[in-house]
Structure 1
Amino acid sequence: MGMMKTWDDYHGNDRAFRICKLAMRWATTTCVLLSLTKAERCPAGCTCAESTRTVTCRGLQEGDLPMDFPHWVTNLIVKGNNISILVSEVFSPYGTRLELLNLSLSENNIQIVEGGAFLGLAHLQRLDLSGNRLFSISVRAFSGLQELRYLCLNNSLTSLAVAQVSGALTTGTLRRLQWLELSGNRLKTVPLNTLDKLNLQVLDLTNNSIQTIGKENVSRLSEHKAIRVFLASNPFDCNCDLQSLHFWLQNASQCPDASLLRCSEPEGRRGRPLEKLHREDLDCTSADLEAVSYVFLGIVLALIGVVFLMVLYLNREGIKKWLNNIREACRDQMEVYHYRYEQDCDPRLANVAV
């Protein structure tokens, strides 16, 4: 007869099966938790708020961007660090899993932005580069930012970067850009050679060194009536070169802060609102006529002088003879006076006369 399995045997096998099953579940759970912990951990030197999907990094010692952001982050703030160069494809190591919407890199002493620096951030909508010292901006600096709506470059552009920023903004990449801030960069004119490749609705040029906006730039702004241009805190020179801007301010509604614009020069109009200037204050025609009048007067006086000199030259013999006659007449007259003086002074001639 075969061996009969007792109840204890069945019970022991079932207990072992349960123990193995629990062990496998524990191992699986542990692995998952470990993997999630690694994926969700906050980078060193940063603070993470999953509720707002925000990671903030300040005072990074290495000066480089962290490489282990949580996958849920959509708002990244890296501020107050020493990141001198944004190298090409600096965000590419994150791959497509990093779906940033807002990126702030303000006050990081960034000096160079290489071409393709933001590749990999295809969903980015807001970019803040304010408070840096940009010396070099590649013409491909903003490549890959097809969804960018807002770009802030306040207090960032040096004189070298001003000449480059126009090319970087008008390559055709930023066709969805709606808001561009360029305040506090000592700009002397609008740094955009075209507006056709942008979809701008707000252009902030406040607190710069703009003295006038030329007719060409005014015409360009007039063609894009959806743009709102802010121009306060600029030292406008209220002479006849400001005529086109003054006409644009009076006949368009594209400058919301027009009432804040003030004259800086000339001294007689300093502090005067641009809106209260009269057409004759900026009349280039009268100024040109006045300049032409002075030139014409100078020419007439020069011609008179030349004619006078020619008359003197042609009559030089007669003038010489006339001068000699005057000299002889004066000499004869002086001799008569001299003779009379000698008679009056001799006492013997006086007695004889008596």
Structure 2
Amino acid sequence: MVCFLFLSASAENCPLSCTCIRSTATVTCLDSPEIELPLVVSQWTHTLILRGNNVTTIPEGAFSKNGTELGLLTLLLTGNNVQVIEAYAFAGLPHLLHLDLSYNNLMVISAMAFGGLRELRYLYLNNTLAISGARQLSSALSSESLQSLQRLELSGNGLKAIPISRFDIFNLNALVLTNNSIEAIGKNNVSSLSEFKKIRLYLSQNPFKCSCELEPFYYWLKNGSQCPDSSRVLCAQPEARRGTPVEKLRREDVDCINPELEAVSYVFLGIVLALIGVVFLMVLYLNRGGIKRWLNNIREACRDQMEVYHYRYEQDSDPRLANVAV
């Protein structure tokens, strides 16, 4: 009778088409078309695995019935064709540490999708973002609810830049951006990374464009130790440098003069010279009387000197005057 009651209770608390193992506090639901959200699981569940199900939308409070909080620590939602994550989708999971949403097709991510996950340590979003989802990711990651986040993985999403505007709202130790479409790391990102030295940034398998724009990142990579896979951060452009590790480039490969800055410099120089010319002309104009007197004095002095030379010439050319002088 006791065994029967135990089995009945287990069956009652276990979602349809799922496997529930209380000894490991794990509920697993694999490749089932019958899985729907919100999903009700037992209070004792610490690990929930949903994989290979057709769950296109994660609605608000998807894992919390009537606002009841669960002690869930790990939530794996890989390969479910998830396309939409609504605001506060994970509400009621205040103790969640691991969240894996990899290998989905996220098109819509609410800015508050991760709202309430104040203890989340690990967030995996590998190979899961559609183009529209990638554009919305930055807003979703700006939530201050992710204050405890230590590791963020975003591999294989076609990202062209680091989707984090502020590092101070996280507790990040590792940011994985491998196998994306990043061509350069901007100066602002380099400055932020230099400030938060404990962050390890993984960047291999990105098509870096090794030109002037890469200069700040080049020096950060070459002189720092925050990129563990730096030896596999390679140039994709230009063709002459394809396959060359960024940290092995020569200084002259990235120390380029900005053409716009050079043009501005020439314009500025022209303006300065023009101002000097104007000032010089103004000085001449304001002192025209004194300059005229000065020129007259010079002319008179030159005339007197020429008369002396002329007189001496006449003496030297007339022998009679020369004898008289003797």
Alignment-mate amino acid for residue 37 of structure 1: L
In structure 2, the CA distance between the partners of 1:70 and 1:277, relative to structure 1 (3 Å rule), is same
Which residues of structure 1 form unaligned runs of 5+? 1-29, 297-354
Task: Indicate the SS of the match to 2:149.
Answer: coil
Which among 28, 37, 40 is matched to residue 7 of structure 2? 37
Q: What letter matches 2:10 in structure 1?
A: E
Q: Does 1:270 align with 2:242?
A: yes
CA contact under 8 A between 1:39 and 1:70: conserved in structure 2? no
Residues matched between the structures, number: 263
Q: CA deviation at 1:70?
A: 3.4
Cα deviations by residue, 1:156-199 (Å, 9 ceiling, x for unpaired)? 11221122111111121110000000000000110111111111
Runs of at least 5 residues in structure 2 that lack an aligned partner in the other structure: 268-326
- Does 2:198 align with 1:237? no
In 1, Cα distance between equivalents of 2:198 and 2:228: 12
1:257-296 Cα deviation digits (max 9, x unpaired): 00111110001111111111011011112x649986xx99
2:280 maps to which residue? none
| Cα deviations by residue, 1:300-349 (Å, 9 ceiling, x for unpaired) | xxxxxxxxxxxxxxxxxxxxxxxxxxxxxxxxxxxxxxxxxxxxxxxxxx
The percent identity for this pair of structures is: 50
Match of residue 151 from structure 1? 123
Question: Counterparts in 2 of 1:20-169, with a 5 A limit?
Answer: 36-41=6-11, 42-65=14-37, 67-93=39-65, 96=68, 98-169=70-141
- CA–CA distance in structure 1, aligned partners of residues 101 and 237 of structure 2: 33
For normalisation by structure 2, the TM-score amounts to 0.75
Shift of 1:50: 2.8
Q: Say whether the 8 Å CA contact 2:83–2:108 is kept in structure 1.
A: yes
Quote the Cα distance in structure 2 between the aligned partners of 1:38 and 1:163: 47
User: In structure 1, the residue corresponding to 2:27 is in which secondary structure?
Assistant: strand
Q: Which stretch of structure 1 is more off in the superposition, 150-159 or 38-47?
A: 38-47
Q: Deviations over 1:62-102 (max 9, x none)?
A: 34147453332211100001111101111121754631100
Contact 2:38 / 2:61 at 8 angstroms: preserved in 1? no
Does the CA-based 8 Å contact 2:40-2:65 persist in structure 1?
Answer: no
Paired with 2:22 and 2:205, the residues of 1 have a C-alpha distance of: 40
CA distance in 2, matches of 1:251, 1:234: 20
Judged with a 3 Å threshold, the aligned counterparts in structure 2 of structure 1 residues 116 and 156 are, in CA distance, closer, same or farther, namely same
Greater displacement, 273-282 / 49-58: 49-58
d(CA) in 1 for partners of 2:24 and 2:91? 24
CA–CA distance in structure 2, aligned partners of residues 134 and 110 of structure 1: 6
Amino acid in structure 1 at the alignment position of 2:158:
R
1:234–1:261 Cα contact (<8 Å) kept: yes
Aligned to 2:232: 260
Q: 2:219 aligned with 1:247, yes or no?
A: yes
- Checking the alignment, whether the CA contact within 8 Å between 2:88 and 2:112 is kept in structure 1 is yes
Q: Deviations over 1:1-38 (max 9, x none)?
A: xxxxxxxxxxxxxxxxxxxxxxxxxxxxx5x7666434
Query: Which amino acid in structure 1 is aligned with residue 128 of structure 2?
Result: S
Say if 2:151 and 2:174, in contact at 8 Å, map to a contact too. yes
- Structure 2 CA distance, aligned partners of 1:183 and 1:200? 16
Counterparts in 2 of 1:279 and 1:74: CA distance versus 1, 3 Å: same
> How far did 1:252 drift?
1.4
CA radius of gyration, larger in: 1
Local SS of the residue matching 2:50: strand
Alignment of 1:172-191 (within 5 A): 172-191=144-163
CA RMSD of aligned residues (A): 2.3
Following superposition, the deviation at residue 124 of structure 1 comes to: 0.5
Q: Confirm or deny: 8 A CA contact 1:134 1:161 kept in the other structure.
A: yes
Per-residue CA deviations over 1:217-251 (Å, capped at 9, x if unaligned) read 11111111110000000010101111111000012
Residue identity opposite 1:231 in structure 2: L
Query: What TM-score do you get using the length of structure 1 for normalisation?
Result: 0.70
Distance 1:185 1:126 in 2: 20
Question: Which amino acid in the other structure matches residue 53 of structure 1?
Answer: A
Partner residue of 2:288?
none
Change (3 A) 1:97 1:188: closer
Aligned position for 1:228? 200
The SS at the match of 1:186 is coil
Residue type matched to 1:175 in 2? Q
